[in-house]
Amino acid sequence: MKERFLVTGGARLAGEVRVDGAKNSVLKLMAASLLAEGTTTLRNCPQILDVPLMRDVLVGLGCEVEIEGDVVRIHTPAVVSPHADFDAVRQFRASVAVLGPLVARCTEAYVALPGGDAIGSRPLDMHQSGLEKLGATTHIEHGAVVARAAKLTGASIKLDFPSVGATENIVTAAVLADGRTVLDNAAREPEIVDLCSMLNAMGARIEGAGTSQITVDGVDALSPTEHTVVGDRIVAGTWAYAAAMTQGDITVTGAAPGHLHLALSKLKLAGADVETYDNGFRVRMDQRPRAVDYQTLPYPGFPTDLQPMAIALSTVADGVSVITENVFEARFRFVDEMLRLGADATVDGHHVMLRGVDTLSSTDVWSSDIRAGAGLVLAGLVAEGETTVHGVHHIDRGYPAFVEQLNALGAHVERI
């Protein structure tokens, strides 16, 4: 049955909301559990659709996985299958994170080319090139990436682009390689730091996580561990932009404000009052937001995952905004849905110019990915009438209890 959200416009969001562990971290941590025989326990896991999807991937590889609330326990056997099931893998992009651990642990891997959000091309070239530098052979065969390495050896690797997925697969392979691996132009996201923190707790020797150069000294074996997942900065940022759009007042807990420094700075420029705490922040907006320009970049730049929220805010801001997308070329398909709602927007290549309107008008809109879906719900909150958001299974992949949390803050959103 296809579900949809019915969003009634005109609500002012106010109150407190807690953010769970990061989607972009927990799935990679689950994949990394393949590196050690025994039971790895993850806490503060978000209760989202992608977690049981990753469970299915790991079960197909021979693991036993228990999910109890926000705790995930992964029992990894002594012998792991190198074949990642096509039906499980094709449903979401993060499943490719098993590639590095499988090559390191099994000396070979067969991972079906993953599916996921429709936000543009995300090839595996840098994943394959990095593994080849470590001594593996790779190729695409029958819709799967195949990698083999009788022995992995440390190497100097430089990424053409600070790809998060490539950084993760190279690091998770290098932890069991012979010798030292130096990865330059590595991704710097907090989720990379979280992964390296867990790997070090398992016995890996990794330095430089969070910088552009990561050094990995390979070890013979890793041991399972317990780890608490870092807070989800993208979900936290979504609530921050929801407060600004609805001229509301939201306190967010469970996320480090330092992970959203630029996103929160943009809200200050838009006229919001932003207070930060050790484990959260408060965003209050008492007026129509001012127009602000945005440019998405790898961390610590403005997150591409918050670009739909920036567009939604800009559609009702006072003035003209220019938003530049530098990461995923197809992300502007979200603009087509905003035009349905009455936005004044013009797309030119990887730029979109938005002239703020006083209010949006309700209609039916369709989610193309997780963040676009959330952005459309926020737009519905500031539209006249009732907006129907279709394709909400995308939203369920990244936002736990989204409807319930929105309604607790004063919105009127119904799942149909």
The set of catalytic residues is 117
Percent of the chain that is helix, strand, coil (3-state, to 5): 35, 30, 35
Question: What counts of helices (H) and strands (E) characterise the chain?
Answer: 14, 26
Task: Measure the CA–CA gap between 238 and 260, rounded to whole angstroms.
Answer: 11
Task: Measure the CA–CA gap between 158 and 246, rounded to whole angstroms.
Answer: 44
Q: Any known ligand binding at 305?
A: yes
Task: Measure the CA–CA gap between 296 and 301, rounded to whole angstroms.
Answer: 6
Task: Measure the CA–CA gap between 292 and 190, rounded to whole angstroms.
Answer: 25
Inter-axis angle of helices 23-32 and 50-60, nearest 10: 10
Q: Any known ligand binding at 171?
A: no
Q: Any known ligand binding at 93?
A: yes
Cα angle for residues 409, 237, 369 (degrees, 5° grid)? 95
Task: Find the DSSP H helices in 254-306.
Answer: 261-269
* Bridge partners of residue 322, in order along the sequence: 353
Contact assessment for residue 409 and residue 250, using Cβ atoms and an 8 Å cutoff: yes
| Amino acid in the structure at residue 103 | V
Q: Any known ligand binding at 145?
A: no
The encoded tokens of residue 215 equal: 């050094």
Task: Measure the CA–CA gap between 60 and 147, rounded to whole angstroms.
Answer: 18
> CA torsion 320→326→331→334, rounded to 10°?
-10
Q: Buried b vs exposed e over 405-414: b needs ≥16 C-beta within 10 Å?
A: bbeebbbebe
Contact assessment for residue 214 and residue 206, using Cβ atoms and an 8 Å cutoff: yes
What are the backbone dihedrals phi and psi of residue 287, each rounded to the nearest 5 degrees, phi first? -150, 175
Annotated binding-site members for phosphoenolpyruvate: 23-24
Annotated binding-site members: 23-24, 93, 305, 327
